[in-house]
Structure 1
Amino acid sequence: MADDEPAVWEIRLGIFATEAEAGEVKQRIIHALCPNPDHAPPCPIPWEISGYGRVDTSELDTYETLLEQVRIERGSS
């Protein structure tokens, strides 16, 4: 597939936040993708967003850099 052909892309975002803050970020992303939710279909850029949930990072290396950033900023080991 050529780079200039449309395809499905997945973008993952890990944030260190409260549940309320995470919900607000999700709403901001939705608004950024579709600033006028009342428009007639289809959306100019088709998209879908999955739910969000708390991640158990004890068995994952996925967010190791993010967790290290939090440790440094909070001054804990």
Structure 2
Amino acid sequence: MNDERELWEVRVGFVATEQQAEQLKEQIARLLCPEPDHAPPCRLPWQIVLSRPDDTEVYESVLIQDRIEHRA
């Protein structure tokens, strides 16, 4: 195993309203940094970017599941 630190990305696709997406973003932020008022830097540097995917094909199974669950 390589012990060298590298930049990693975790992608999560979900179907939600804009308000729900913002709420989920905040919940994930609290998981990454449970003490937001601590002195910098974080032990694990991180950043959250909330965006709509350009390629929805990656999340086709999520879209199908949403249609099934919500009968759309």
Where structure 1 has 5 or more consecutive residues not aligned to the other structure, the ranges are none
Corresponding residue of 2:59: 63
Q: Which of 1 and 2 has higher RCO (CA within 8 Å, sep 6+)? A: 2
Q: CA RMSD in A?
A: 1.9
Structure 2 unaligned regions, length at least 5: none
Return structure 1 stretches of 4+ with deviation > 4 angstroms: none
State the identity as a percent: 49
Bigger CA radius of gyration: 1
Deviation at 1:24, TM superposition (A): 0.1
The answer to which structure has the higher helix fraction is: 2
TM-score by length of 2: 0.83
For residue 53 of structure 1, the aligned residue among 51, 56, 59 is: 51
TM-score calculated relative to the size of structure 1? 0.78
